A = this chain, B = another copy of it.
Amino acid sequence: MTKASTTPGLPVPVILCGGSGSRLWPLSRKDYAKQHIPLFDGPSLFRRTLRRVAGGGFGKPIAITAAGTRFLVADQAGETPLDIVLEPEGRDTLAAVTAAACLAARRDPEATVLVMPSDHFIPDASAFAAAVAAAGALAAGGRIVTLGLRPTAPATGYGYIARGAPLGPGAFAVERFVEKPDAARAAELVAQGCLWNAGIFCFRADTALAEIGALAPGVRETVERAIAEGGDDFGALLLGDAFREAPRISFDHAVMERTRAAAVVEADLDWSDIGDWRAVWQQSPRDAEGVAREGRVFAVDVRDSYLRSEGRLVCALGVEGLAVVDTADAVLVAPIARAQEVRQLVAGLEEGGFAEARSPARVHRPWGWYQTMDKGERFRVKRILVHPGRRLSLQRHHHRAEHWVVVRGTAEVVRDDETLLLRENESVYLPLGCLHRLSNPGRIPVEIIEVQTGSYLEEDDIVRTEDDFGRR
């Protein structure tokens, strides 16, 4: 227990940004995970997570994410300093946590590390801070601490923790972990005072690395190699291919369930992992009839329902217990009680070849986003936003011409040998086959309306000659 007296540096927050987006479809998509959706009339869960650890008292956060969503992560972080680490391939949480511990150890071998999923909703920041402080104190003493949550229902979707010997106020050794139980077993576990395992871990980097070394031999070495082989990728650390060799196993299974250092801090938190539309409804403000509304919604004689619009007018009459979720390209109507089945519905959509299963209407790109607003037989209209300082690839199309009208900001346009500066309310024509590029040299976003005309108007009619983001 001598380590308890060391004064660690600032704890290193590590945010795990994996996960797909089936269960909050159509708001989330396979390519647009739920942590990136603005929810509850406010920022996304990822931004809220970052905000919880971006204040004083923490070191610079590390986000571990996939290459496909890294720009979304960066854009949502905005001005908040953030180290982004890219996994060449998702290998479950053991590999990610090991990478986090290795990277934190480079700052300070005894650094406290706080590992969090990016999709948790924790409305009370001070309760969270108190739990983290308690976990940090235990971690300083050489424990690997998980936050335990008092169950609000005998849920079958979470793992449970049986508490062992007390280690302090609200702190316990872990007697054992119990995997996701069935309903009857869940009720027993709740009755026995077991806690939910939230997947939020706190440990000293050296403790974790020692335990990983003992319980999952070779993984640390593999991950260290991936870090050493890795390199800068547009400001992020892209781990090397060695990362793909890490075993595909969770940190819970590989370490937490087997280490003697496991401890649990009982966190007195209002918490949700927003696992489906029922959870969104439960966490939303509701009126006396139990109706939660977001956006332009009109309800008559509706009870216990979740009604959400992103712009269109959503009208519900005489329904009960229903979720109605309207987005630019898809609308879902389902009983809240069957919210868990949305996942299978999306699997069915994907099998049926519906693009809406995977891609959102607004498609995020390294340079910003685009969205198709109208299309006809021989034309398509897109709105395109380019972040300050970014630019699209230098490209040409074989089957379409384009008209660009700048509606916000100042754009720089390359068209064959010319370079033009276009202000709001100025336009340019890009004939079929011309080499062109759209850049935002300014300090505010550029938005343009693009009118494409031609006989073939899909995304794959693009020949990239140069690209800032390594795309071909």
A residues with a Cβ closer than 8 A to B are: 26, 298, 300, 312-319, 322, 324, 326, 328-335, 338, 341-342, 344-345, 348-349, 352, 354, 356, 373-374, 376-379, 381, 383, 401, 403, 405, 407-408, 424-425, 427, 429, 447, 449, 451, 453-454
Contacts and interface: CB of A to CB of B under 8 A. Distances in A.
A19 to B, nearest CB: 21
A319 B335 contact: yes
From A317, A328, A330, A376, residue with most partner B Cβ within 10 Å: A317
A429 B338 CA distance: 52
A315 B345 contact: yes
B314 A331 contact: yes
17 contacts: A298-B345, A298-B349, A300-B345, A300-B348, A313-B349, A313-B356, A314-B331, A314-B333, A315-B334, A315-B349, A317-B333, A373-B374, A374-B383, A376-B383, A401-B425, A425-B453, A451-B451
Given A315-B345, A407-B451, 14 more contacts: A26-B313, A298-B349, A300-B344, A312-B328, A313-B349, A313-B356, A314-B333, A317-B335, A317-B345, A324-B331, A373-B373, A373-B381, A377-B408, A381-B383
Q: Which 4 A-B pairs have the closest CB atoms?
A: A379-B407, A317-B334, A373-B374, A313-B330
A312 B330 contact: yes
Nearest to A318: B338
A317 B376 CA distance: 30
Nearest to A324: B333
A338 to B, nearest CB: 5
A356 B341 CA distance: 32
B319 A333 contact: yes
A378 B449 contact: no
A352 B451 CA distance: 36
A379 B406 CA distance: 10
A86 B460 CA distance: 52
Q: Looking at chain A's contact residues, is the secondary structure mostly helix, strand, loop, or mixed?
A: strand
B378 A374 contact: no
Contacts of A322: 319, 333
Nearest to A298: B349
Contacts of A349: 298, 313, 315
Contact of A313 (B324, B354, B403): B354
A318 B335 CA distance: 7
Contacts of A330: 312-315
Contacts of A378: 407-408, 424
A348 B348 CA distance: 37
Nearest to A313: B330
Contacts of A429: 427
A397 to B, nearest CB: 13
B338 A317 contact: yes
B334 A319 contact: yes
Contact of A342 (B317, B354, B373): B317
Contacts of A344: 300
Contacts of A329: 312-313
